[in-house]
Amino acid sequence: MAEVTIRALKKSYGGLQVVHGLDLDIHDGEFVVLVGPSGCGKSTLLRMIAGLEEVTSGDIRIGDRRVNNLPPSERDIAMVFQNYALYPHKTVAANMGFALKMRGMDRAEIDSRVKRAAEVLGLTPYLDRYPRALSGGQRQRVAMGRAIVRDPQVFLFDEPLSNLDAKLRVQMRTEIRELHQRLKTTTVYVTHDQIEAMTMADKIVVMQGGRIEQVGAPLELYDRPANTFVASFIGSPS
Ligand code: ADP
Ligand code: MG
């Protein structure tokens, strides 16, 4: 069974339709990248999956639950944004555990989850530091740590690397993929960068103008693009 199932999904803002009847299956453990030019509806789709944006019509299922009308906190997802704000007056450990504390989880369980996530992310030596004493890459890892400790069914990433410099961006691509190898959590990752999509995805979803142009493995899209849009988008240098 697909982990995330999207059927005839539409979104309008006022009179303006920005998502035009999408169908998509995201399978258990898959790393799926949504890619397309700015304004094509990637964030809108991701935010509808997250429950941060209302669905105009159609269905979104996570596992066997229809989630259209569930608030984000009940969807068993965790999202990492481009503009992750860490709490400046909390340590790395407190930043990572904060959402769990708000949910009333007990101290020992929070500590053990934070410790495990820190190990996976190489943050163990930094747990008592404050965000201002971290590098950009370390801050980004803390933002991912906040998602990991929740142990969600699905990770949602919206352009998480676009504020990092080019060198760090390349390094973080590899780290996020390695993380996925270890955790195998179903992931939906949004980017406008086709190189990022080609190097990270199990499956790429190419979008344009609120529609899906093609879905396939990176090499499939490269070898057999469905149309000239996919060919020029995937084939062009970033
Ligand atoms: P992407 O993430 O692919 O760059 P978005 O999903 O952010 O694209 O936006 C898709 C379209 O929806 C764009 O035309 C954008 O201007 C429009 N849009 C996004 N959010 C809103 C909003 N809150 N109100 C009105 N229009 C919006
Ligand atoms: Mg966006």
In order along its 238 residues, the chain shows pLDDT tens digits of 579 999 999 999 999 999 999 999 999 999 999 999 999 999 999 999 999 999 999 999 999 999 999 999 899 999 998 777 899 999 999 999 999 999 899 999 999 999 999 998 999 999 999 999 999 889 989 999 999 999 999 999 999 988 888 888 898 899 899 999 999 999 999 999 999 999 999 999 999 999 999 999 999 999 999 999 999 998 865 5
Q: What residues have a C-beta under 5 A from ligand 2, the ion?
A: 43
Cα–Cα distance for residue pair 11/41, rounded to 1 Å: 9
Q: Ligand 1: which atom is nearest the Cα of residue 47?
A: 6
Residue 156 Cα to ligand 2 middle (Å) = 12
Residue 43 near ligand 1, beta carbon < 6 Å: yes
Q: Ligand 1: which atom is nearest the Cα of residue 44?
A: 6
pLDDT at 238: 52
Closest ligand to C-alpha of residue 36 is 1
Closest ligand to C-alpha of residue 211 is 1
Residue 122 near ligand 1, beta carbon < 6 Å: no
Residue 191 near ligand 1, beta carbon < 6 Å: no
Cα–Cα distance for residue pair 8/64, rounded to 1 Å: 17
pLDDT at 105: 95
CB neighbours of 113 closer than 8 A, spacing ≥ 6?
97, 100, 149, 151
Closest ligand to C-alpha of residue 34 is 1
Site to probe by mutation for ligand 1, drawn from 44, 46, 82, 213 as the one with most ligand atoms within 8 Å of Cβ, is: 44
Residue 181 near ligand 1, beta carbon < 6 Å: no
**Residue for token digits 């990270």?**
200
Compute φ and ψ for 41, nearest 5 degrees. 110, 10
pLDDT at 82: 75
Cα–Cα distance for residue pair 171/164, rounded to 1 Å: 10
Q: Would the ipTM clear 0.90, i.e. be above it?
A: yes
Residue 190 CA to its chain's centroid (Å): 6
